[in-house]
Amino acid sequence: MRELNERTARLRKESFEAEPSISIERALLTTEFYKENEGKYSVPVMRALNFKNLCEKKTIYIGPGELIVGERGEFPKAVSTFPELNCHTAEDFEILDTRPMTHYRVKAGDRELYSEKVIPYWKGRTVRDKIFSNIPEEWMDLYQAGCFTEFMEQRAPGHTALDGAIYEEGLLEKKKKIATAIENLDWMNDPFAAEKREELRAMDIACDASILFAKRHADLAEEMAEAEKDEVRRGELLKIADVCRHVPAHAPRDFHEALQTYWFTHLGTITELNGWDAMSPGHLDIHLAPFYEKGTEEGTLTAEKAKELLSCFWIKVNNTPAPPKVGVTAAESGTYNDFTQINLGGVKADGSDGVSDVSYLILDVLDELQLLQPQVSVHISSKTPDRFLRHACRVMRRGSGYPSAFSSDAVIMEQLGMGKTIEDARTGGTSGCIETGSFGKEAYILHGYLNVPKILELTLNNGVDPLTGKKIGKTTGDPELFKSFSDLYQAFEEQLAYVVDTKIKTDNFIQRMFARYAPAPYLSANIAGCIESGKDYYDGGPRYNTDYIQCCGIGTTTDSLSVLKKHVFEEGAVSMKDLRNALKDDWEGHEELRQFLWNRTPFFGNDDDYADSIMQKVYGSLIDAIDGKNSPKGPTYHVNMLSTTCHIYFGKKLGATPNGRFAFTPESDGTSPSHGADRNGPTAVVKSLSKMDQLKSGGTLLNQRFLPSVLAGEGGLEKMAQLIRTYFTLGGHHIQFNVVDTETLRKAQKNPDDYRGLLVRVAGYSDYFVDLDEHHQEEIIARTAQENF
Partner 1 sequence: MELSKNTEGVLFDIKRYSVHDGPGIRTTFFLKGCPLSCWWCHNPEGISPVPVLSWHRNRCIGCGRCIAVCPEGAWSESDGGMVRDASLCRGCRICEERCPTLAIDFADRKITLRELVKEAEKDIPFYDKSGGGVTFSGGEPFMQPEFLLSCLRALKEREISAAVDTSGCAPLDYLLEAAEYADLFLFDLKLADPREHKKYTGVSNGLILSNLVRLDEKIASLGRGGINIRIPLIPGINDSEETLKRLAGIAAELATLTGVNILPYHSIGKGKYRDLGREYKMEGILPPTEQEVERALAVFASRGIKAVKGG
Specify the pairing of strand 759-761 against strand 766-768: antiparallel
Q: Which amino acid is at 39?
A: G
- Cis amide bond preceding 248, omega within 30: yes
Q: Where are the alpha helices (DSSP H) in 150-283?
A: 165-168, 171-183, 193-227, 231-246, 255-272
Among 683, 693, 746, 751, binds partner 1 (CB under 8 A): 683
- Cis amide bond preceding 403, omega within 30: yes
The least distance separating partner 1 from the CB of residue 686, rounded to whole angstroms, comes to 8
Q: How far is 785 from 705, CA to CA, in rounded Å?
A: 5
Cross-strand bridge partners of residue 471:
464
The least distance separating partner 1 from the CB of residue 679, rounded to whole angstroms, comes to 10
Q: Which is nearer to partner 1, 365 or 689 (CB)?
A: 689
Among 569, 596, 664, 755, binds partner 1 (CB under 8 A): 596
What sign for the dihedral angle of Cα 107, 109, 112, 116?
negative
Among 193, 623, 710, 785, binds partner 1 (CB under 8 A): 710
Nearest to 93 by CA among 69, 113, 74: 113
Residue 674 interacts with partner 1 (CB under 8 A)? no
Q: How far is 640 from 265, CA to CA, in rounded Å?
A: 28
Beta carbons of 519 and 44 less than 8 angstroms apart: yes
Q: Which residues are catalytic?
A: 433, 435
Stretch that binds partner 1, among 277-285, 529-537, 562-570, 707-715 (CB under 8 A): 707-715
Q: Which is nearer to partner 1, 180 or 680 (CB)?
A: 680
Stretch that binds partner 1, among 217-225, 578-586, 650-658, 723-731 (CB under 8 A): 723-731
The least distance separating partner 1 from the CB of residue 20, rounded to whole angstroms, comes to 41
Q: Round to the nearest angstrom and report the end-to-end CA distance of the chain.
A: 30
Nearest-5° angle of CA 518, CA 519, CA 520?
115
Residue 382 interacts with partner 1 (CB under 8 A)? no
Q: Which is nearer to partner 1, 711 or 759 (CB)?
A: 711
Distances in Å between the alpha carbon of 323 and those of 96, 320, 353, 721? 11, 8, 36, 36
Stretch that binds partner 1, among 85-93, 339-347, 581-589, 677-685 (CB under 8 A): 677-685
The least distance separating partner 1 from the CB of residue 784, rounded to whole angstroms, comes to 12
Cross-strand bridge partners of residue 344:
378
Residue 591 interacts with partner 1 (CB under 8 A)? yes
Q: Which is nearer to partner 1, 273 or 686 (CB)?
A: 686
The footprint of partner 1 on this chain (CB under 8 A) covers a number of residues equal to 30
Residue 741: CB atoms within 10 A of its CB come to 15
3-class SS of residue 145: coil
Among 235, 722, 754, 756, binds partner 1 (CB under 8 A): 722
Q: How far is 668 from 598, CA to CA, in rounded Å?
A: 14
Q: Cβ neighbours of residue 347 under 8 Å, at least 6 residues apart?
A: 353, 354, 381, 383, 408, 412, 426
Beta carbons of 53 and 33 less than 8 angstroms apart: yes
Binders in 750-779 for partner 1, by CB under 8 A: none
Among 723, 740, 745, 770, binds partner 1 (CB under 8 A): 723
Residue 187 interacts with partner 1 (CB under 8 A)? no
The least distance separating partner 1 from the CB of residue 670, rounded to whole angstroms, comes to 20
Nearest to 326 by CA among 72, 79, 18, 35: 79
Residue 98: CB atoms within 10 A of its CB come to 10
Q: Which is nearer to partner 1, 213 or 706 (CB)?
A: 706
Stretch that binds partner 1, among 54-62, 197-205, 374-382, 684-692 (CB under 8 A): 684-692
Nearest to 195 by CA among 45, 52, 300: 45
Among 542, 682, 698, 764, binds partner 1 (CB under 8 A): 682
Among 144, 300, 468, 599, binds partner 1 (CB under 8 A): 599
Q: Burial, 117: exposed, middle or buried (Cβ in 10 Å; 0-12, 13-18, 19+)? A: middle
Q: Which is nearer to partner 1, 109 or 715 (CB)?
A: 715
Provide the mask over 298-337, with x wherever binding to partner 1 is found by CB under 8 A and - wherever it is not.
----------------------------------------
Residue 428 interacts with partner 1 (CB under 8 A)? no
Q: Which is nearer to partner 1, 124 or 713 (CB)?
A: 713
Stretch that binds partner 1, among 236-244, 438-446, 550-558, 712-720 (CB under 8 A): 712-720
Stretch that binds partner 1, among 270-278, 402-410, 580-588, 722-730 (CB under 8 A): 722-730
Q: Which is nearer to partner 1, 220 or 717 (CB)?
A: 717
Q: Cβ neighbours of residue 36 under 8 Å, at least 6 residues apart?
A: none
Among 595, 634, 746, 751, binds partner 1 (CB under 8 A): 595
The least distance separating partner 1 from the CB of residue 382, rounded to whole angstroms, comes to 12
- Cis amide bond preceding 374, omega within 30: yes
Q: How far is 711 from 380, CA to CA, in rounded Å?
A: 20
Element (H, E) at 341: strand 341-345
Stretch that binds partner 1, among 127-135, 400-408, 511-519, 679-687 (CB under 8 A): 679-687
Q: Which is nearer to partner 1, 596 or 610 (CB)?
A: 596
Residue 718 interacts with partner 1 (CB under 8 A)? yes
Element (H, E) at 652: helix 646-652
Binders in 219-278 for partner 1, by CB under 8 A: none
The least distance separating partner 1 from the CB of residue 460, rounded to whole angstroms, comes to 22
Residue 741 interacts with partner 1 (CB under 8 A)? no
Provide the mask over 549-588, with x wherever binding to partner 1 is found by CB under 8 A and - wherever it is not.
----------------------------------------
Q: Which is nearer to partner 1, 55 or 582 (CB)?
A: 582
Among 36, 350, 592, 743, binds partner 1 (CB under 8 A): 592
Stretch that binds partner 1, among 119-127, 219-227, 455-463, 675-683 (CB under 8 A): 675-683
The least distance separating partner 1 from the CB of residue 391, rounded to whole angstroms, comes to 18
Stretch that binds partner 1, among 501-509, 683-691, 694-702, 761-769 (CB under 8 A): 683-691
Q: Cβ neighbours of residue 112 under 8 Å, at least 6 residues apart?
A: 90
Nearest to 5 by CA among 403, 318, 368, 516: 368
Nearest-5° angle of CA 43, CA 45, CA 47?
70
Residue 607 interacts with partner 1 (CB under 8 A)? yes
Residue 738: CB atoms within 10 A of its CB come to 24
Cross-strand bridge partners of residue 22:
79
Nearest to 245 by CA among 292, 213, 223, 209: 213
The least distance separating partner 1 from the CB of residue 613, rounded to whole angstroms, comes to 15
Q: Which is nearer to partner 1, 164 or 345 (CB)?
A: 345
The least distance separating partner 1 from the CB of residue 735, rounded to whole angstroms, comes to 14
Among 105, 234, 305, 719, binds partner 1 (CB under 8 A): 719
Q: Which is nearer to partner 1, 472 or 686 (CB)?
A: 686
Binders in 101-130 for partner 1, by CB under 8 A: none
Q: Which amino acid is at 172?
A: L
Residue 593 interacts with partner 1 (CB under 8 A)? yes
Q: Cβ neighbours of residue 469 under 8 Å, at least 6 residues apart?
A: none
* Percent of the chain as helix, strand, coil, to the nearest 5: 55, 10, 35
Q: Which residues bind partner 1 (CB under 8 A)?
A: 591-593, 595-596, 599-600, 607, 680-684, 686-687, 710, 713, 715-716, 718-719, 722-723, 725-726, 729-730, 786, 788-789
